[in-house]
Amino acid sequence: MTDLFDLTGKTALVTGGAQGLGRMIAEGLLRAGASVAITSRKADICEAAAAEMAALGKCIALPCDLASPEAAVELATRVRSTFGGKLHVIVNNAGKTWGGPLDSFPDKAWPGVMMVNVQAPFTLIRELLPELQAAASAEDPARVINIGSVAGKVTERLSAYSYSASKAAIHMLSRDLAGDLAQRNINVNVVMPGFFPTKMTAHLRDDEVADPAVLAHIPMRRMGREDEIAGVIVFLASRAGSYVTGAEIPVDGGVVGCG
């Protein structure tokens, strides 16, 4: 049991890994022993975060704006060079959102959100299939973990129409990929976070105090903690999660399961 969650010797890519949920996830993988590459749109933020997390293990900055298929292909090339042809874990966490009233919700709110939240993860997985297969075996599959959202599973009344649609799309895409890649020894799962204290939920908090109306919506009456999202990712990436694929796992204090 001592090595059930051990990721020593494993390599991982966490998109959007410099801040928010991505940073929580990257730190969790590093603490479990993995070497981790992180991306962020802003090079200075990416490099600073990687330098700080290097105290936990090998952390590499790969600045990238996943706003186009070409950017995803170029990132895959850099990942291939960084890890020498083998990649054990991809965490597709980078995300984009847009909120606004239905009557004036603009058409321009769709392409960028769908690109970052759905198409870029697909392109990265496609381009890195050789590296995932090189790292995989029947006993220890490679892992793809796509970060969805409770907003793609239940109606949250966020007026973020393209965002919720994109998250529902990544959930279904993940199930399709899990079925197609099982025979290649690549597990694909979705983690659906609920409310965590990140920039994306800043409008729901006053400094670090959550809106009571938001907490009342969560059966456990609190936001999530860093180790609670990191722990689920480490589980899915480790030997403990080797028989799990095609799953949608809510980490949300009961929003999905108790609703």
Pairing of strands 35-38, 59-61: parallel
Of the residues 163, 195, 196, 235, only one is catalytic, namely 163
Residue 70, CB-side half-sphere exposure with 13 Å CA sphere: 0
Give the whole-angstrom CA distance, residue 111 versus residue 38.
Answer: 24
Can you tell me the distance from the alpha carbon of 50 to that of 17, in angstroms, rounded to the nearest whole number? 9
Which amino acid does the sequence have at 48? A
Alpha helices, H only, 84-224: 111-114, 120-127, 129-135, 161-181, 212-217
Would you give the DSSP letter of residue 12? E
SS3 content of the chain, % helix, strand, coil (to 5): 45, 15, 40
161 part of the active site: no
User: What is the distance between the alpha carbons of residues 131 and 88, in angstroms, rounded to a whole number?
Assistant: 8
Rounded to the nearest 10 degrees, how much is the dihedral formed by the CA atoms of 221, 159, 197, 143? 100
CA distance 137 to 10: 13
The residues that are catalytic are: 163
